[in-house]
């Protein structure tokens, strides 16, 4: 009986803790938006974060995009040629990348590379009292540290997803056209005919923007809210990666069902 | 000393504070006159750093009033609090230097954030502050390249960058070698007098403190248990003061965190 009571008590405490954290995160997000003015008026702070989150993620994003496109080229051609539609490889590769794989895989990579780095940096600043020192110097850490990193992530992510998709298409072309022998003209012309700018590209951009904002918010919140110890920082980093991945996949389902329901 | 009530910069009246259920301060009264160097001393975990955070407005007292320059810190909104903090400097225990900035940029940080001064003037001011702590030649180094004592001196230069009215030090001597300890101690005194500031210092180091401070408060078990000038404390027969000043292992200062009797812990096994 005691064991059951303890279990219910722990379950209740976990639920309360979870709701409390969601509330705190929402309040944090409102504060972040309120103090975002400095990220625009002192644009060099945000540009610096775009460099750290975006430019330094370029290599992993572009190389991953190339390989994902190459795999799509191989697998896609293997399936399409069974139905005599090998020439439609460009359509398959480009639609898969712009609608789904570009935003989702780039988002997951972004969370692992840039999101993790942001959580670690802010968390370590908290652990070493740098945020407290800033606060004591009458400099708001949310305005000076958190907001530029958030907006840096929000701006970087759609650009990275676009580059991921572009590299993926290139990878698909490399495998499909150069190595397998799909007709070059058919590859590009069918792609051009099938991919709609507003419906496919813009929806992909919207997805990547939402994923970028989600990952950036999770990353800065986990860093800012971490327990200022080595273990607390380690847990915060883990939570950033796990929560971001789950949030991206869940949001992808929601957005896909809203954007593409009954239209393709 | 505490009779100079009209010239007080910091005043705590019946201040109580708790972290959740754990009450740390139970009715602290403390006064810091302008221009003086005051030390707050006591054993580990007695609430010394909490007192500094209450004065700086990073924590809010659960009861009582904390006044700085005549204003109740607990009643200030964020903008008013930041306005007040611009006239405060705080040195954290391990310096809390911004690790992605050079020594120069660390000291320039408050100037760049709060003033529109031209680069040339900021440069001159930063170099003067660094010169005051003897580290003008280290301006281009990164915090990772500094020793513990040097990092604390840079943090001190940063804390005085805006010529504050109040400088607070959290354990400025912790972990320093004897030479660095003496240098930092003398700097604290000289900077206070040169800037016409007021200093509150939280420390364990009784010998260094007795040489440089004007007044000392001893904190234990949530309250002020003794106070006085260095000369008064040296002559004091109060067992609490005597034990602390002479570093006696036995006396009224508790060494153990409150717990049940040892035999009960061992027999009952509840601590594990």
What average pLDDT score do residues A209-220 get?
96
Rounded to whole angstroms, the maximal C-alpha distance in chain A is 73
Q: What is the DSSP secondary-structure string of A114-132? A: IIHHHHHHHHHHHHTTHHH
Condensed to tens digits (0 to 9), the pLDDT of residues B13-51 reads 988 988 888 888 888 888 999 999 999 988 777 888 889
Query: Around Cβ A193, how many Cβ atoms within 10 Å?
Result: 10
Six-digit token string for B25: 């301060």
Contact at 8 Å (CB) between A108 and A208?
A: no
Token pair of A110, please?
């972004």
- Distance (Å, rounded) from C-alpha B261 to C-alpha B272? 14
pLDDT of B270 over the 70 cut? no
- Residue B95: predicted pLDDT: 83
Work out the pLDDT band at A134, boundaries 50, 70, 90: very high
Please give the residue that has the higher pLDDT: either A253 or B223.
A253
Residue B237 class from Cβ within 10 Å (0-12 exposed, 13-18 middle, 19+ buried)? exposed
pLDDT value, residue B178: 81
Considering chain B, what is the average pLDDT of its residues?
85
Query: What's the confidence (pLDDT) of residue B2?
Result: 46
* Structural domain boundaries enclosing B219: 5-268
Q: State whether B85 and A132 contact (CB < 8 Å).
A: no
Tell me the chain A residues in contact with residue B98 when contact means C-beta distances shorter than 8 Å.
125, 130, 133-134
Residue A219 near residue A156 (C-beta atoms within 8 A): no
Residue pLDDT, tens place only, B209-255: 888 889 999 888 788 888 888 888 888 888 777 777 777 777 777 66
Confidence of residue B269 (pLDDT cuts 50, 70, 90): low
Q: Does B82 touch chain A (CB under 8 A)?
A: yes
Q: Is B83 on the interface with A (CB under 8 A)?
A: yes
Chain B contacts of A137, Cβ < 8 Å?
A: 85-86, 109-110, 113, 158
Q: What is the pLDDT of residue B272?
A: 46
| Beta-carbon separation of A136 and B94 below 8 A | no
pLDDT number for residue A130: 93
CATH number at residue B214: 3.40.50.300
pTM for the whole structure: 0.85
| B58–A132 C-beta distance less than 8 A | yes
* Buried b or exposed e, range B27-59, using 16+ CB within 10 angstroms: ebebbbbbbbbbbbbbbeebbbbbbbbbbbbbb
Q: What is the reported pLDDT for B255?
A: 67
The minimal CB distance from B82 to the residues A128, A132, A138 is found for A138
H or E segment at A27? Answer: helix A2-34
Length of chain B: 272
Q: Which residues of A touch B94 (CB under 8 A)?
A: 128-129
Report chain A residues whose CB lies below 8 A from the CB of B99. 128, 130
Chain B: nearest CA to A63, how far in angstroms?
Answer: 29
Paired residues of B88 in beta bridges:
B166
Joined together, the tokens standing for residue B117 give 């001064």
pLDDT at residue B71 tops 50: yes
Domain count across chain B: 1
Residue B5 is predicted with a pLDDT of 57
Mean pLDDT of A168-182: 94
pLDDT of A199 strictly over 50: yes
Return the ∠ at Cα B202 (arms to B200 and B206), rounded to 5°. Answer: 110
Beta strands B63-68 and B215-220, pairing class? unpaired
């Amino acid at each position: 009986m005691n064991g059951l009571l303890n279990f219910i008590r722990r379950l209740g405490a976990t639920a309360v803790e979870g709701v409390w954290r969601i509330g705190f995160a929402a309040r944090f997000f409102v504060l972040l938006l309120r103090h975002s003015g400095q990220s625009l008026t002192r644009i060099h702070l945000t540009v610096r974060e775009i460099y750290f989150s975006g430019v330094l993620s370029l290599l992993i994003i572009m190389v991953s995009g190339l390989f994902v496109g190459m795999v799509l080229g191989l697998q896609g051609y293997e399936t399409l040629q069974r139905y005599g539609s090998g020439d439609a490889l460009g359509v398959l590769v480009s639609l898969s990348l712009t609608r789904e794989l570009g935003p989702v895989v780039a988002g997951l990579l972004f969370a692992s590379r840039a999101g993790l780095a942001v959580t670690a940096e802010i968390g370590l600043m908290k652990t070493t009292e740098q945020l407290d020192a800033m606060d004591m110097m009458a400099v708001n850490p949310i305005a000076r540290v958190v907001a530029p990193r958030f907006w840096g992530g929000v701006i970087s992510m759609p650009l990275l997803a676009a580059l991921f998709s572009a590299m993926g298409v290139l990878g698909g072309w490399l495998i499909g056209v150069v190595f397998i022998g799909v007709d070059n003209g058919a590859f590009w012309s069918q792609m051009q005919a099938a991919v709609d700018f507003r419906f496919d590209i813009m929806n992909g951009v919207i997805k990547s923007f939402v994923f970028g904002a989600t990952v950036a918010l999770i990353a800065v919140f986990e860093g800012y809210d971490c327990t200022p110890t080595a273990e607390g920082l380690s847990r915060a980093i883990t939570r950033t990666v796990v929560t971001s991945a789950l949030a991206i996949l869940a949001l992808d389902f929601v957005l896909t069902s809203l954007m593409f329901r009954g239209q393709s | 000393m505490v009779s100079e009530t009209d010239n007080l910069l910091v005043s705590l009246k019946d201040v109580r504070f708790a972290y959740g259920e754990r009450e740390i301060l139970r009715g602290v009264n403390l006064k810091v006159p302008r221009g003086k160097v005051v030390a707050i001393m006591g054993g580990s975990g007695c609430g010394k750093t909490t007192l500094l955070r209450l004065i700086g407005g990073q924590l809010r007292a659960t009861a009582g009033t904390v006044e700085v320059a005549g204003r109740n810190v607990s009643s200030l909104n964020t903008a008013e609090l930041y306005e007040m903090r611009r006239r405060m400097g705080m040195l954290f225990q391990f310096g809390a230097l911004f690790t992605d900035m050079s020594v120069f940029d660390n000291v320039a940080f408050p100037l760049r954030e709060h003033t529109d001064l031209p680069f040339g003037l900021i440069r001159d001011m930063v170099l003067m502050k660094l010169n005051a702590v003897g580290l003008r030649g280290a301006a281009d180094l990164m915090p990772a390249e500094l020793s513990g004592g040097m990092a604390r001196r840079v943090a001190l230069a940063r804390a005085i960058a805006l010529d504050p009215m109040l400088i607070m030090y959290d354990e400025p001597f912790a972990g320093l070698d004897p030479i660095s300890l003496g240098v930092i101690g003398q700097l604290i005194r000289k900077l206070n007098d040169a800037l016409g500031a007021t200093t509150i210092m939280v420390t364990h180091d009784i010998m260094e403190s007795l040489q440089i401070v004007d007044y000392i408060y001893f904190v234990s078990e949530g309250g002020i248990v003794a106070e006085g000038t260095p000369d008064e404390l040296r002559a004091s027969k109060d067992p609490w003061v005597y034990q602390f000043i002479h570093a006696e292992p036995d006396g009224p200062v508790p060494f153990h965190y409150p717990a049940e009797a040892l035999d009960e812990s061992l027999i009952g096994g509840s601590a594990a």
